[in-house]
Amino acid sequence: MIRLPVNFGGFVSISTVDWPGRAVCTVFLRGCPVRCFYCQNKTLLFGSDLRDEAEIVSLISESALVVSGVVFSGGEPTMQEESLVLLARESHRLGLLVGVHTNGVYPRVLERLIDEGLVDHIALDIKARWERYASLFGVDLVDRVRESLSLCRTAYLDGRLPGFEVVITLFRGYEDEVSAIAREASGVPLVLQQGVHGDVAPLSFEELMAVASRLGRPCRIRTRESGEQEYEADWSGGAARKRQG
């Protein structure tokens, strides 16, 4: 096995929230090229904690008996292409499914993971309508994100990517942006995730359900208070139930 330095951000030996419906371990990789104001892992955006890749594989291996997959998150895990590819390959060798949480700014890395059959699920965080991306990111990378959405959607619909979801982290005052994003993500699972930042009151589950009711499609709603629930497409009034499994 080729040894590569991994800029390591942390490890969770078992998680039931990073891949809904599965118990997984989660590897956090340090570093991200964008600066979202609401990032929950700001300590991972900078700095260096270089580890031998064998150490990370050992951590994953120790969890393999009690989990069915490993999720690579961050930071932005696709920023470390070679390390991510190697760790994904080793995770498959251990019999684990591989998930990636990404902001989509490295579409070529996602394409490589898909083409080499190294990823089983991608959660792509779409943060705003395209026109707001440059101000939100602090750098204009919107074309990269749009490419990531397009290639992941195509791979999901033609069966090359087993699992894919678009996650919209939604803050109060930006509810009207969801419909435009949902149109771009037609045909793929959609998650409305409660955004939490500073003194701004987060949208409640009921408020997020009202947003979902206008989309004309099923989606999932994720809040701190209620966990993750599926929104059932009953357009006569709408209903939601707890996600099972």
Tens digit of each residue's pLDDT (9 = 90 or more) over 123-177: 999 988 888 887 777 678 889 999 999 999 999 999 999 999 999 999 888 898 8
User: Which of 65, 116, 87, 81 lies closest to 1, judged by CA?
Assistant: 87
Domain housing 219 = 5-242
pLDDT tens string 96-128 = 999 999 999 999 999 999 999 999 999 999 988
Of 30-39, 79-88, 213-222, which one has max mean pLDDT? Answer: 79-88
pLDDT of residue 135: 77
d(CA 82, CA 123): 20
Domain count, the chain: 1
pLDDT of residue 242: 45
CATH number at residue 213: 3.20.20.70
Confidence band for 244, pLDDT divided at 50, 70 and 90: very low
Q: Name 46's bridge partners.
A: none
Query: By CB neighbour count within 10 A (0-12 exposed, 13-18 middle, 19+ buried), where does 80 fall?
Result: buried
Tell whether pTM > 0.85.
yes
